[in-house]
């Protein structure tokens, strides 16, 4: 990612949504929930139905993000992290590339809203 693209993304507006705002869209499959925290953070639990894609991969090689984005290009992406800062960055980066995104804030908001928090599946060898 170039510095120019990153700076442009910082000025891209993105909507902040609550779990209640987008729960039905996620459950119906119209929107995809994405956890952008790093793998070590997932061990404590993740929001049910979330795809686990670290921000570091989005801003780096995109080995995990590229196939996901290719398959999900027509759907809205609702991103969350620990408190909402990294999900805002990810949402802005993707919005600047033409994806429909929303910042879903932090995992604690999802927990407080009653969204199920589950233990993630064990990563496959090479995914750590």
Q: What is the fold of 3-117? A: Oxidized Rhodanese; domain 1 (3.40.250)
pLDDT, residue 1, reads: 63
Indicate the helix (H) or strand (E) that contains 10. helix 3-10
Q: How far is CA 13 from CA 8, 22, 77, in A?
A: 10, 18, 14
What average pLDDT does the segment 89-116 reach?
A: 95
Q: Which residues pair with 78 in a beta bridge?
A: 33, 102
What is the pLDDT confidence band of residue 125, given thresholds at 50, 70 and 90? very low
Other Cβ atoms closer than 10 A to 81: 24
Average pLDDT of 110-114? 96
The pTM of the full predicted model, rounded to 2 decimals, is 0.89
Distances (CA, A) of 52 to 12, 23, 104: 23, 18, 14
Helix, strand, or coil (residue 79): strand
User: Could you tell me the residue ranges of all domains in the chain?
Assistant: 3-117
Q: For the chain, give the longest Cα–Cα distance.
A: 39
- pLDDT value, residue 69: 97
More confident residue, 31 or 11: 31
Res 121: pLDDT: 80
* pLDDT given at position 20: 95
What's the confidence (pLDDT) of residue 8?
75
**Which pLDDT belongs to residue 75?**
96
**pLDDT single digits (tens) 27-84:** 999 999 999 999 999 999 999 999 999 999 999 999 999 999 999 978 999 999 999 9
In sequence order, what are the beta bridge partners of 52? Answer: 35
């Amino acid at each position: 990612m170039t510095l120019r693209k990153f700076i442009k993304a910082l000025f891209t507006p993105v909507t902040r949504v609550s779990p209640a705002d987008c729960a039905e869209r996620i459950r119906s499959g119209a929107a995809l929930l994405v956890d952008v925290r790093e793998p070590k953070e997932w061990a404590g639990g993740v929001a049910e139905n979330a795809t686990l894609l670290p921000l570091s991969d989005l801003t780096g090689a995109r080995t995990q993000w590229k196939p996901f984005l290719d398959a999900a290009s027509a759907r809205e992406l609702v991103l969350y992290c620990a408190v909402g800062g990294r999900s805002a960055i990810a949402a802005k980066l993707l919005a600047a590339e033409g994806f429909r995104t929303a910042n879903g804030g932090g995992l604690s908001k999802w927990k407080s809203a009653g969204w199920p928090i589950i233990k993630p599946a064990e990563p496959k060898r090479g995914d750590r």
